[in-house]
Structure 1
Amino acid sequence: MAQSVHPAAIEHIPGFIVEPGQTDYLFVGVAIFLILIVLIIGNLYFQLHAVPERMAHRTSKVQMEIVAVLALISLFTHNHLFWIAGLLLAFIEIPDFSTPLYSIAQSLGKLSGRDLQSTGDLALIPDEPLNTDEAAKSTEGSAKSGTESEGV
């Protein structure tokens, strides 16, 4: 049952105009195209937003966490200053201050003749786990040596 063309219509009707009750292929195509473009641009936006965090993976853990927090703050607040700060922080290598300080403390302890296990300074060294039984014995030993030195 073919429908006739409306008398007010022009002679050549474009292909995207369909009869009532038929599927509008142009609308479906544009809707799919828009959904794909939004997903692609959103993915690119999130990939670009994660650049400082991916760059910071080669740095220390603390620096990487700071950069990740800055990237998240900039993502949720839309304040690009946080993203730029995270990017700059990812480029800069923060020097390790704790290892030389622990080494200095160990050297000074050796020079002064103190044993790290007897003074309780073992907790300052991150590489060696602190045993609670040994720590209690070391604090008792240091208390005894302190009272003996007072009598001298």
Structure 2
Amino acid sequence: MTAAPNPIATHHLPFFVTAPGDTDVLFNVTVVFVVASIVMTGVIFLTIHSLPERMAHKSKKVQLDIVALLCLLALLTHEHLFWFAAILLAFIDIPDFLTPFKSIASSVETIAGQEAPGGVVDHPDSSPPKAVPADQPRQDRKGAARA
């Protein structure tokens, strides 16, 4: 068997035509390119898809769990509305209202002489604190003067 081309064919064949029994280099390059393109498309898709969660995580947002849940729902259900809601929540900074109220509540409990839920307050007696005139320095429970 000879590898001679058909006598009717042109004498100048293009570079991608391979002889019988040879490796088809163009096919192998095309397969590698298509597989790499599919993998890169998936990586780009997942990177863009997790963008709101990464944004909320970097800025230490309070609503990080909600953003993560919306991103996961958008990924699994293919509903783009969840992703848009997640990215809007990642941009919005919801203020922390609970921490100041907890601080106020614990301060009021300390002033009232009640036991705070976070820890045990040492009260030698159950009487309210004594009033001190404004011109005298106050003393804490251990006897040290405070300004």
* TM-score > 0.5 by shorter chain: yes
1:53 touches 1:64 (CA, 8 Å); kept in 2?
A: yes
Alignment deviations for residues 50-81 of structure 1 (CA, whole Å, 9 cap, x no partner): 21111101123x51121111111111211111
Question: 1:27 aligns to what?
Answer: 27
Q: Which runs of 5+ in 2 are unaligned?
A: 121-147
Alignment deviations for residues 54-110 of structure 1 (CA, whole Å, 9 cap, x no partner): 1101123x5112111111111121111111111000011111121122123224324
Aligned to 1:7, the other structure's residue is in SS state coil
1:88 aligns to 2:88 (yes or no): yes
2:50 touches 2:71 (CA, 8 Å); kept in 1?
A: yes
1:4 aligns to 2:4 (yes or no): yes
2:3 touches 2:20 (CA, 8 Å); kept in 1?
A: no
Aligned to 1:87, the other structure's residue is in SS state helix
Tell me which amino acid in the other structure corresponds to 1:115.
Q
Question: 2:76 aligns to what?
Answer: 76
**CA deviation after TM superposition for structure 1 residue 7, in Å:** 3.0
Tell me which amino acid in the other structure corresponds to 1:77.
T
Aligned to 1:15, the other structure's residue is in SS state coil
Aligned to 1:55, the other structure's residue is in SS state helix
1:14 aligns to 2:11 (yes or no): no
Alignment deviations for residues 98-145 of structure 1 (CA, whole Å, 9 cap, x no partner): 11221232243245x2412xxxx51xx4xx5xxxxx7xxxxxxxxxxx
Structure ranking higher in helix proportion = 1
Tell me which amino acid in the other structure corresponds to 1:46.
L
Q: Which runs of 5+ in 1 are unaligned?
A: 129-133, 135-152
Superposition pairs of residues 3-152 of structure 1, within 5 angstroms: 3-57=3-57, 58-60=59-61, 62-111=62-111, 113-116=112-115, 121-122=116-117, 125=118, 128=119
Identity %: 43
Rounded to whole Å, the distance in 1 between the matches of 2:3 and 2:55 is: 64
- TM-score, structure 2 length as denominator? 0.70
Runs of 4 or more off by more than 3 Å in structure 1? Answer: none
Rounded to whole Å, the distance in 1 between the matches of 2:44 and 2:51 is: 11
1:59 touches 1:93 (CA, 8 Å); kept in 2?
A: no
Aligned to 1:37, the other structure's residue is in SS state helix
Question: 1:146 aligns to what?
Answer: none
- TM-score, structure 1 length as denominator? 0.68
2:67 touches 2:90 (CA, 8 Å); kept in 1?
A: yes
Question: 2:132 aligns to what?
Answer: none
Tell me which amino acid in the other structure corresponds to 2:54.
R
User: Aligned residues, how many?
Assistant: 119
